[in-house]
Structure 1
Amino acid sequence: METFFPFLLRSLLWIFSPLSFLYQFLFYLNQTRIQPNKLGDVLVVSVGNLTVGGTGKTPFVQYLIRHIKKHYKDYAITVLSRGYGAAFSKQGAIVESDSLPDEVGDEPKLHKEAFPDVQVIIGRDRIASFQKHNSISGKKHIVILDDGFQHRKIQRDLDIVLMDANHPLGNGWTIPLGVLRENDSSLKRADFVVFTKITDKTDFEVRKLGGLYSKRFPHLSVFYSRFEGSLVQGKISAKNYRLVTGVGNPKFVLKTAEDCLGTKEIKLHTFPDHHRYKEEELFTILSDLSTNTDLVTTEKDWVKWKLFSKFKSELERLGIGVVVIGIEIELENTENFNLRWESLVSSYESKISPA
């Protein structure tokens, strides 16, 4: 019986494999028809991935923003995102400090809260949305194309692909049998590959894979990074915790929460990625909590939760705390990373400077 189920799974994969091959063919056909367009006199950096799900794009985009603000202070920054699941995605919008997450998307809203002076624009048609809402002109300008590896309508100066070190290629199959959007042969289009979420357990194998990619794609710069969790809000005071989150990789968030709180007594309650919370859902969770239990969530979730005034009042009335977990990137070999950026910026400035 123990050997039957793996055999059955392999058999089903092969039976339905034509669906995956059909997806690959249609995806390739669509990509070959696309003619990339320039956004203008801006430096475009794409951050994307090969897989569906959480590879850490949000903390990595924020890592890039901090890097630019530290080393290139005279540059304006724009984050250009589709605004997945946002009400304003179809029409496009600029994200303001008072924009609602349901209108502009949780991640764009989070970027705007973290960096108020950064321009954040969303839109399904990113080119049209940028042209309509961009208010920056006459200065050096970097546009970070969020989740842009498959969005080839926009020319980019640097393509960064993130890969989750714990499941770099999933089960190796493309959609719908696996999590791959496209095969790793597409890394020939990338400039950087950054392995994220490395742990002691995955360290050896992921460096082995990185070495193979370096040989297979000689132009590719391979970087390795770990995620460092921190308490953004709240305090560790309860006996028990309930982690409630709607992100692409909740198991990794659970591990991060356990590390931050110093306990493994955390129950997990998950929602789909980019979930549009309803206040009633959160009240239901409160009614199910045992005594002396606090809530744990991510910044991405909290940006939506904190808009519910009745929920927040009920938390206070019941004496239930909320611990908000933040995640930052710790990148190795930053010297090479900085050198590549210096070369990129120098090339960009030579193009926009008058002769």
Structure 2
Amino acid sequence: MKIFDYLYLFGYSLHRRYGLSRRKRLEGRTISIGNLTLGGTGKTPLTIEVAREALRRGLTVSILTRGYKSSSKESLIVSKGEGPIVDWRHSGDEPYLMSIKTRGAWVVKDPNRYRGGLISGTKDVFVLDDGFQHWRLYRDFDVVVIDGTDPFGGGRLLPFGRLREPPGALERASLMVITKLERRDEGIEKELRRYNRVAPIFYADFRVDGFRTLEGPVRAAEVSTRRAYLFSGIGNPRYFEALVSNYGINVKGALRYRDHYDYTKRDIERMVKNAKKAGAEILLTTEKDLVRLSGMGEFDIPLYAVSVRLELKDRSFFDILFEGLMPEG
């Protein structure tokens, strides 16, 4: 380890100690979904799937999120189960998207997840989006999502690497979910077992689940048969581009922006110009990027987003999380 790694680790340790000393507990089943590395592992898609499964089982559920890059720093109810009731700039792009994709669930944005849980209108299940490093709230399960293509983010701590914590933090995990692999990888499992010998390991993969515009879902044929120019501002753009190509869409080119990028009119002009020059018929992006483009006006070329979902290959994962919980009535 280098001097900056030690400094980061020292600050992280102080922050963790302070948070644990003030830990509080909500009354319902609390499930944290998080990761060890920055961006692109699939923690938010898994949060959505856990919330959906709770709803399928007849349970009431709230998603508690800090709302990265939100303009509001206080408690904010993003949804009461019927879709977003605030503008995405107040909530942040991910809470807004979660409120669209988890109808029936409350979504509450608050850096203090305990406070957010108290103002939510549910009591059965609380799902913490990006909760692994949120020390101040007790959780019944700590689910850690691991990118199978880069499990430890290059091995360096922030700010010079992508690790948010040392790999040894995996000892806190109740369950581990490996994403982005088509089949089981015993080598990665062996590496994970160095840090946690007991947590069940599951696999999940991303699947194209449809397409949409700013107005709503559209038929797959409206998109899949046309030449597309891609752009995205997410944690792992290469995986998104590969997912679209593997679906069979004719990709003519791609632009990449940093995660949670705030698009401008000039950016849109550049996308359209590049797309037309490449012979593309449509612009294609992620659902999260589509949220950030709402209110930007008309495009000179049709704009679509790919709806993606995370599929667990072994659904006993959900049985573990919800064991013993029964809907009222």
* TMscore range, shorter length: 0.7 to 0.9
What is the aligned partner in structure 1 of residue 255 from structure 2?
A: 269
Q: Contact 2:167/2:195 (CA < 8 Å) preserved in 1?
A: no
User: Taking structure 1 as reference, are residues 121 and 38 closer, same or farther at Cα in structure 2, changes over 3 Å only?
Assistant: same
Output aligned runs, 1:137-286, within 5 Å: 140-199=123-182, 203=183, 206-214=185-193, 216-233=195-212, 234-239=222-227, 241-263=228-250, 265-286=251-272
Taking the aligned partners of 1:32 and 1:77, their CA distance within structure 2 comes to 29
Q: Deviations over 1:28-58 (max 9, x none)?
A: 1221232253343121100000001211112
Greater fraction helix? 1
Q: Contact 1:36/1:155 (CA < 8 Å) preserved in 2?
A: no
Residue 78 (str. 1) matches residue 62 (str. 2): yes
Counterpart AA for 1:45: I
Taking the aligned partners of 1:237 and 1:339, their CA distance within structure 2 comes to 39
Taking the aligned partners of 1:147 and 1:187, their CA distance within structure 2 comes to 15
SS of 1:295's equivalent in the other structure is strand
| CA apart distance, 1:341 | 2.6
Taking the aligned partners of 1:98 and 1:261, their CA distance within structure 2 comes to 36
Cα RMSD (Å): 2.3
Taking the aligned partners of 2:105 and 2:322, their CA distance within structure 1 comes to 21
Counterpart AA for 2:248: L
What is the aligned partner in structure 2 of residue 32 from structure 1?
A: 17
User: Taking structure 1 as reference, are residues 158 and 289 closer, same or farther at Cα in structure 2, changes over 3 Å only?
Assistant: same
Normalised to the residue count of structure 2, the TM-score between the two structures is 0.87
Q: Contact 2:44/2:130 (CA < 8 Å) preserved in 1?
A: no
- The percentage of aligned residue pairs carrying the same residue is 26
| CA apart distance, 1:21 | 1.7
| CA apart distance, 1:223 | 0.8
Q: Deviations over 1:8-27 (max 9, x none)?
A: xxxxxx7xx21012111221
User: Taking structure 1 as reference, are residues 344 and 53 closer, same or farther at Cα in structure 2, changes over 3 Å only?
Assistant: farther
What is the aligned partner in structure 2 of residue 307 from structure 1?
A: 295
Equivalent residue pairs, number: 312
**Bigger Rg, structure 1 or 2:** 1
**305, 323, 327: which one aligns with 1:343:** 323
User: Taking structure 1 as reference, are residues 98 and 40 closer, same or farther at Cα in structure 2, changes over 3 Å only?
Assistant: closer
| CA apart distance, 1:227 | 1.3
What is the aligned partner in structure 1 of residue 102 from structure 2?
A: 115
Normalised to the residue count of structure 1, the TM-score between the two structures is 0.81
Q: Deviations over 1:107-135 (max 9, x none)?
A: 1101111223211011223333433x323
Residue 134 (str. 1) matches residue 120 (str. 2): yes
What is the aligned partner in structure 2 of residue 45 from structure 1?
A: 31
Structure 2, gaps ≥5 residues long: 213-221
**284, 305, 308: which one aligns with 1:296:** 284
Taking the aligned partners of 2:97 and 2:140, their CA distance within structure 1 comes to 25
| CA apart distance, 1:155 | 0.4
Q: Contact 1:102/1:276 (CA < 8 Å) preserved in 2?
A: no
SS of 1:83's equivalent in the other structure is coil
What is the aligned partner in structure 2 of residue 334 from structure 1?
A: 315
What is the aligned partner in structure 1 of residue 91 from structure 2?
A: 104
Taking the aligned partners of 2:231 and 2:134, their CA distance within structure 1 comes to 31
Q: Contact 2:50/2:318 (CA < 8 Å) preserved in 1?
A: no
Taking the aligned partners of 1:184 and 1:344, their CA distance within structure 2 comes to 31
Q: Contact 2:168/2:195 (CA < 8 Å) preserved in 1?
A: no
Taking the aligned partners of 1:269 and 1:47, their CA distance within structure 2 comes to 29
User: Taking structure 1 as reference, are residues 169 and 266 closer, same or farther at Cα in structure 2, changes over 3 Å only?
Assistant: farther
User: Taking structure 1 as reference, are residues 342 and 91 closer, same or farther at Cα in structure 2, changes over 3 Å only?
Assistant: closer
User: Would you identify which runs of 4 or more consecutive aligned residues in structure 1 move more than 6 Å?
Assistant: none
Q: Contact 1:258/1:266 (CA < 8 Å) preserved in 2?
A: no
Taking the aligned partners of 1:66 and 1:77, their CA distance within structure 2 comes to 9
Q: Contact 1:112/1:119 (CA < 8 Å) preserved in 2?
A: yes
SS of 2:223's equivalent in the other structure is coil
Q: Deviations over 1:172-206 (max 9, x none)?
A: 1111221001111111111011001114xxx46x4
Structure 1, gaps ≥5 residues long: 1-13
Q: Contact 1:198/1:227 (CA < 8 Å) preserved in 2?
A: no
